[in-house]
Copies of this chain bind each other. A is one copy, B any other.
Amino acid sequence: MDNQAKKTALRGISYGLYVIGTKVGDDVNAFTGNWVTQTSFTPPLVAIGVKKGTNSSEGIHESGVFSVNVLETGQQDLATAFFKPMSRVGNKFGDIEFSTHTTGSPILSDALSWFECKVVHEYSEGDHVIYIGEVIDAGVNREGKPLTLQETGMYYGG
């Protein structure tokens, strides 16, 4: 296989950019991710890819829950804020406010919309764990166009 062709072709997959959260014991954690797709309508399932060995991946594995915060076009700064580990202070990561709903995973107050999931299956053969979650709660904060990875000029894939 031509390694450069593999990279280019895989970077042809289009993505959004999300803040994915989880519950870690009595704490919460969140990271920026783009490997997200729905995989079933009934029940509503989504698959996410999470880097193996990270606090977030271990948190999702332990708690069995995660949230996906859909960001709005223009909210790149909100996405990149979670490139580095963010400690919770009360109901904030820095100055970024969140709340919790059904699973205890963080829901960002400024996200366009969000859904939270209960893990029903995981597959961990690669360098990322694939968590398949059933959507058990969801909310919409406002109408808007979602942030895409393409808009940011960044990529994660290849």
A contacts, CB < 8 Å to B: 1-2, 5-6, 8-10, 12-16, 35-47, 49, 68, 70, 112-115, 120-121, 123, 125-128, 130, 132, 135-140, 146-150, 157-158
Contact = CB atoms under 8 A, between A and B. Distances in A.
Nearest to A122: B123
Contacts of A37: 13, 15, 35-37, 47, 49
A20 to B, nearest CB: 12
B47 A10 contact: no
11 contacts: A1-B136, A1-B137, A2-B139, A10-B115, A10-B135, A13-B37, A13-B70, A35-B39, A40-B130, A42-B126, A43-B126
